[in-house]
Amino acid sequence: MAARTILVLGGGVGGLVTANELRRRLDPADRVVVVERERRHLFQPSLLWLMVGRRRRDQIERPLRELVAPGVEVVEADITSVDPAARSVQTTAGSLAGDEMVVALGAEPDRDAVPGYRDAALDFFSPDGAAACARALDAFKGGRVVVAVAALPYKCPAAPYEAALLLEDELRRRGLRAPSEIDVYSPEPAPMPVAGAAMGAAVVALLEARGIRFHPGTKIERFEPGSREIVLPDGTRVGYDLLAGVPPHRAPAAVRESPLAGGTGWVPVDRATLETGHERVHAIGDVTSITLANGKPLPRAGVFAHGEGLVAARRIASALAGRPADDAFDGVGYCWVEAGAGRAAFATGAFFAEPDPALVLRGPGRSWHAGKVLFERSWVGGRLERRLAHAGLVVGGRLLGVTATA
């Protein structure tokens, strides 16, 4: 049988999981090729620890080539266009084509969507922004801290709330809590609205217990970095001394400008199979749009990119082996909510449940925080560290009755 080539576009969470699972399942003669512009794979959840000075950048990244399974090829290049009909891409390293293609190009911050945001906010959605936030915190003497969601959509629904809780903890640790106020502004009606009213109320309770004020349903018209103010549509001005920002997100240009993009710019997929409607082209993770039974989108989170990547890889391997492809993505997910003081809460549940996702929030507690640290190390630790952390997660997960394993 002639060797086949599977192109995996993007080497983030979804692309990495997909490529490694394909490598495990395919004939060694088949090629698995990951196209990724960054040399180093970033564990994005740890940006929250980087922003409060609890991590260095080199602790939360690892060269992608060290993380792919032996035999996975990595092409370091920028993808400039995608042709799903030909299953080919144009890149800064030339054109590439495959027998199968998996699109895992994620979501990119759109920092110019809201006027003034780019210059005003310490944007912890990038390593540079998170590091700048940590430096600003070092120089901070107390005052008004604002965490602002500039506009929707954004990835990781818990991130703004975790940021506020971690900043609060850090100010307390540094003796700056008393002279400081902390406010969270978001256009959302409640934290993590897709997860239902009870989840929103639980997260608001976490914020209130720490004296953090939450301002739901707040659209932001513009940011004025000169006067250090946020301007709301009714003209209200909100002053700040330290502004941590969550940028709105969009699909990368190569996807938005391709026939893959639905009306919104994201890639619509079958939620069970991750098929795009273009023959032998799957899409997974943040770049996709999946609408839940309650009409809300499946959140953009690594846990889903991970689960979808496994399903896409297994379906492709089955199809190439001439077997029926029966793996299906079930929408089960989990999420740590870092609460500061060495504690985290842990949300887990079924997002495809009807009429609403059925989720449970446990904690906050130290064991959940330890689980998140293990998860980080299982992802971007050294080789031995990754193995030990993974084993720790499996054992810990069994003891705690959850399946949050890498």
Ligand X SMILES: Cc1cc2nc3c(=O)[nH]c(=O)nc-3n(C[C@H](O)[C@H](O)[C@H](O)COP(=O)(O)OP(=O)(O)OC[C@H]3O[C@@H](n4cnc5c(N)ncnc54)[C@H](O)[C@@H]3O)c2cc1C
Binding positions for ligand X, rule: CB under 6 A: 10-15, 35-38, 44-45, 47-48, 78-79, 104-106, 124-125, 155-156, 159, 252, 254, 285-287, 300-303, 305, 335-336
Residue 239 CB, nearest approach to ligand X (Å): 25
Residue 300 CA, distance from chain mean position: 6
Whichever of 33 and 231 has its CB closer to ligand X, that residue is 33
Whichever of 45 and 116 has its CB closer to ligand X, that residue is 45
The Cα 41–Cα 32 span in angstroms is: 18
Whichever of 229 and 276 has its CB closer to ligand X, that residue is 276
Q: Are 357 and 198 in contact, with CB atoms under 8 Å apart?
A: no
Residue 226 CB, nearest approach to ligand X (Å): 27
Whichever of 224 and 270 has its CB closer to ligand X, that residue is 270
Q: Are 62 and 383 in contact, with CB atoms under 8 Å apart?
A: no
Residue 299 CB, nearest approach to ligand X (Å): 8
Q: What share of the chain is helix, strand, coil (3-state, %, to 5)?
A: 35, 25, 40
The Cα 114–Cα 256 span in angstroms is: 19
Residue 220 CB, nearest approach to ligand X (Å): 19
Whichever of 22 and 229 has its CB closer to ligand X, that residue is 22
Whichever of 196 and 307 has its CB closer to ligand X, that residue is 307
The kind and range of the H/E element at 344 are strand 343-350
Range 159-194 burial, b when 16+ CB lie within 10 A, else e? bbbbbbbbbbbbbbebebbeebebbbbbbbebbbbb
Residue 131 CB, nearest approach to ligand X (Å): 13
Nearest to 83 by CA among 261, 274, 247, 297: 261
Whichever of 182 and 344 has its CB closer to ligand X, that residue is 344
- DSSP H helices, 82-126, are 117-120
Residue 85 CB, nearest approach to ligand X (Å): 19
Whichever of 200 and 285 has its CB closer to ligand X, that residue is 285
Residue 360 CB, nearest approach to ligand X (Å): 16
Residue 160 CB, nearest approach to ligand X (Å): 9
Q: Which pair of structure tokens corresponds to residue 127? A: 């390593």
Residue 310 CB, nearest approach to ligand X (Å): 12
Whichever of 159 and 207 has its CB closer to ligand X, that residue is 159
Sign of CA dihedral 75, 77, 79, 83: negative
The Cα 204–Cα 345 span in angstroms is: 13
Q: Which pair of structure tokens corresponds to residue 196? A: 């239902």
Nearest to 325 by CA among 338, 316, 335: 316
Residue 32 CB, nearest approach to ligand X (Å): 16
Q: Are 196 and 361 in contact, with CB atoms under 8 Å apart?
A: no
Name 268's Cβ contacts closer than 8 Å, sequence gap at least 6.
262, 276, 277, 288, 289
Whichever of 51 and 238 has its CB closer to ligand X, that residue is 51
For 324, other C-beta atoms within 10 Å of its C-beta total: 7
Of all residues in this chain, which one has the CB nearest to ligand X in the complex?
12
